[in-house]
Amino acid sequence: MTPAEQRASHYTAKRQDRAYLGEDWNAGDRDVDVRCHRQWIAVNRKAYSCVGNSAGQRHEVPAGERMLVQSALIEGRWGGYRLCLKCCDEWLDQLEGLS
């Protein structure tokens, strides 16, 4: 795939980064001890697995795509995950009643 084809295949986010970073993506999972929680938007250097949308549909996200990355110390163990911006948009659309 040429660089121009790769750029054309990238997902264009519906929202600004602050909308993704301002959301509490783990709000329903607060019955555990969560510390040192961090989240940021990153561009993949390689393909990563997305944890999926609210239906739990995991999928592969190619290199060059932007993803929401989270890490935290959960119950004394480090953990983290990546969520593509398309799935973030689907989740936020559901929360806002747009879908």
The boundaries of the domain holding residue 65 are: 3-95
Sequence-distant (≥ 6) Cβ neighbours of residue 32 within 8 angstroms: 74, 75
Q: Which residues of the chain have pLDDT under 70?
A: 1-9, 26-30, 53-56, 99
- Count of structural domains within the chain: 1
Instruction: Give the span between the Cα atoms of 13 and 25, in whole angstroms.
Output: 17
Task: Convert the pLDDT of each residue in 55-77 to its tens digit.
Answer: 667 889 999 999 999 998 888 89
pTM above 0.85, yes or no: no
